[in-house]
Structure 1
């Protein structure tokens, strides 16, 4: 994900003509309106400031102080004649400008390294959230379309059962059918009605999720449906080892966790620097008037330049405790990296296997749909010839529509797995969404 892609998508959002909301249009809207993405963008911008904060520890520091006061004091002088008291009512002021430049400060160097690591961590987190936006968008888009297909299939199945129910009723009235046939068909009809309602609830939830991402209201007809000509493409690269190597090198979450480990290492070094001396160069200019009782009615104009060394000796054990604490947190980050790596590789292999198996599953379900459609016609003819009964027709129709539902689910599952595979490998970008868009056609 690059800023060039983001800018291109935003421009496309404002310049594209009005048409069906395809994946590219939805992505452009998501970049503009998705609150989760914008939160990630602000997180990255805030993280970039860690680089300047860390670098500041190595740069000069300039301080200015000014003091102007009214003083009322009583001075007692002891003499042979006794104590002599004088009341002084006077004004004093001091003005000081100091420049300090670290020369040897290991804590400042570790702080600088920590700032760099935090900035890189913010970059990787943003890259991960940017890729995650593509996944969330396609997930909601796909779920909405799949729910729409389920509604259409359930409605078509219900209409088929309704026609069968009319036929059963007609045969029963003529004395050629049975009440059992009527009850069997009615039960199947009512079941498909319940399935249709359930699919409608799923559609509403998916559309609301998609609306939350793109920031605009929409209905199912606004989306581009899955095209009828569905071809599962071979994976590139083909072997899992290549995908694993990609994930280890490019996965955003793993990269972020490695930078988090580096941050913990630099924080440990900062704590350890509490035992080390520091050396700095300083220069100052100072002007005072009656700055103290010893300089009453005296003015000074002093310029100084020199070096300052600070040697920590004892801090109540706080430095040692802080170092141990930072070391434990470094070890914690190391274990979290190991756990994240294992989780990522396990999920990567799962999506890889799903992509491979989808090739055979799509072909199998396409054959099942074709065979089940032929079976319905053959079974109806057998019933007319007295070789089959009404329940056989209902079972054949159930098998046909179940196969169509399974085929739709498998197609969408393959596209999601393909997207997830590239996301886990860390190579997902907006061009991949454009490639997925080829599977979707204009709404009818």
Structure 2
């Protein structure tokens, strides 16, 4: 009997499980929904590298620079041309008429032996190509920082919505308690009105917060190239955010040596110097070697002549004497362009120093702010609990409870914002120091919670 009863219970249990599984619609194979997937910074970074138009355009310009370098180098190599012609001639003379065919074939080769303008032109485009490569690296770094900023803005919008909803629930809970006391004539009507006004204000804030969530997701979608609807991984609570151990002087020196934008400007200066030398090359003589071979049976005035083969080797010298002053004017203009590029490089160098120092000091201050806001949150939580208990005993009024709740959630917002600001400034610091890479994003991504950890944090926030 016992075995039969146990078998019956098991069959009923599995029947219920199968029925529930049949009622629950299964997701199609390969479909990812927002309920079972959480996107992190590294995943969006890899997508943006393939979809961000700014990055793709920068690398396209870099590739175009390489091709222009190859084009300029081709001007230094031998130039070979071939030509041919075929003529049909009819000649009418007083005594006779004749018709005949003419053919001519020619092959020529020309090689610069000395041409300063052609050589400096190649040096200019060689530097331009290197400039494009560094500009592409800088564009990737700038786009990465922009992605991180938009990611944390979206995350802050999600946090703001959840905090507003949580504050509204807490305030509504206190309102329900005060209304119950008011019905028993144990609370004042002003307490009820104050809490009800706060609940209504939080409802309005919730509408604005939901709108901001949608706006921030659209900003992410602009970079990724697709709608970003999945949940975003949050910052883990079991990590200790710290500033790198090196001093600000070390970071500034590192930035001056490795910043890609500064390196690109250095190549721009080298290109401007080469262009200036090219302009001065207009005063220099040029030397070239020319080889040609020709087979022809065309005589004077397209007459028919015996076929002949001719081979010519020549060395040509060209000496510029006077061009109306245009060569000198072009040289002076290119010299001023070089001076302007030099000043732009100096301005960028100062900007690199300023931005690196500012990012380092801001990140360092953010660590202290995180520590202070975490202590403020602990104090605010204890203050709110004490205020709620004091209200139960009639020691404090509803305004004090309302203020304590507002202080607690304000401290939560400050803590999250301080964490986001620290990570963003750390990425900015690495960007200006020329150290922002995929590994840097991966290191930051390790501070974000995985799916299970994120759900645990959500439950904690909801509670």
Partner residue, 1:98: 108
Alpha-carbon separation, structure 2, partners of 1:193 and 1:292 = 100
* Map of 1:168 onto structure 2: 178
Instruction: Output aligned runs, 1:79-158, within 5 Å.
Output: 92-158=102-168
1:377 aligns with 385
Q: Identify the match of residue 228 of structure 1 among 222, 237, 254.
A: 237
Paired residues of 2:234 and 2:449 also in contact (CA < 8 A): yes
Structure 1 contact 144–220 (Cα < 8 Å) conserved: no
Give the CA deviation at 1:296: 5.8
CA offset digits 1:37-59 (Å, max 9, x no partner): 22222222222213312221221
Q: Give the match for residue 312 of structure 1.
A: 320
1:47 to 65, 68, 91: 65
Match of 1:200 among 204, 210, 215: 210
Deviation at 1:243, TM superposition (A): 0.7
The 1:348/1:199 distance shift into structure 2, 3 A limit, reads: farther
- Count of aligned pairs: 417
The SS at the match of 2:293 is: strand
Secondary structure of the residue that 1:297 maps to in structure 2?
Answer: strand
Using a 3 Å threshold, how does the CA distance of structure 1 residues 359 and 327 change in structure 2: closer, same or farther? Answer: same
What is the Cα deviation at residue 90 of structure 1? Answer: 6.1
Counterpart residue number, 1:266: 274
3-state SS of paired residue (2:244): coil
- Look up the match of 1:13: none
Helix, strand or coil for the counterpart of 2:322?
Answer: coil
Q: Label 1:44 to 1:180 Cα distance change in 2 as closer, same or farther (>3 A).
A: same
Shift of 1:267: 1.4
| Residues in 2 aligned to 1:277 and 1:364: alpha-carbon distance in whole angstroms | 73
Tell whether 2:291 aligns with 1:283. Answer: yes
**CA distance in structure 1 between the partners assigned to 2:404 and 2:448 by the alignment:** 30
The answer (yes or no) to whether the contact 2:45–2:144 under 8 Å persists in 1 is yes
Per the TM alignment, residue 258 of structure 1 is displaced from its structure 2 partner at its CA by 1.0
Is the aligned partner of 1:185 residue 2:170? no
Q: Normalization by structure 1: what TM-score? A: 0.86
Residues 97 and 285 in structure 1, CA contact (< 8 A), matched pair in contact too: yes
CA distance in 1, matches of 2:421, 2:406: 22
Structure 1 residue 352, shift from structure 2 partner: 0.6
Q: Distance in 2 between matches of 1:195 and 1:341?
A: 44
**Hey, what does 1:401 align to over in structure 2?**
409
On the 8 A contact 2:171/2:195 being kept in 1, the answer is yes
Deviation at 1:269, TM superposition (A): 1.5
Q: TM-score, normalised by structure 2?
A: 0.83
Give the alignment's Cα RMSD to 1 decimal. 2.5
Alignment match, 2:265? 257
